[in-house]
Amino acid sequence: MAAQEDFAEFVPHAEFCAGLPAGRFRVVVDPKLARRFVSQRLLLMVVLMPVIGVGIALVLMGNTLPGALLVFGGVVLHRIVRWQAPRILVQMATQNPAVYEAVTQQGVMEVRRA
């Protein structure tokens, strides 16, 4: 029963934003769901696919170095965003009340009292 008392029933966005830096809340983020949510919210694939495609086209046209750099940059950016997705998600949740509501309701992020 003590584990149930650790969960905040409902924490308004303003209280969450004020209490998180003060250490009143502990945030638990599901990394797998966070990766999917952040990728969809930032339209990551919509942005990266043309960048990688242009890089491949440059390589095929003979501009090897610029094309390879675009492909490499696109792949690295994708990996970094997916690796940092939980941190990006918490930042997005503190900045936007709609994101905060969505991630708490979908179970991507849990807010616990510290």
State the DSSP string of 9-31. Answer: S---HHHHHHHHHHT-EEEEE-H
Dig out the tokens for 99 from the structure.
Answer: 């994101």
Give the model's pLDDT for residue 2.
47
Mean pLDDT, contiguous 10-residue spans, the chain (114 residues) = 55 90 91 95 94 97 96 96 96 95 93 83
The DSSP element (H or E) to which 41 belongs, if any, is helix 31-41
Give the model's pLDDT for residue 1.
41
Give the model's pLDDT for residue 72.
97
Give the model's pLDDT for residue 59.
96
Give the model's pLDDT for residue 104.
92
Give the model's pLDDT for residue 41.
94
Closest CA to 103 of 36, 5, 8: 36
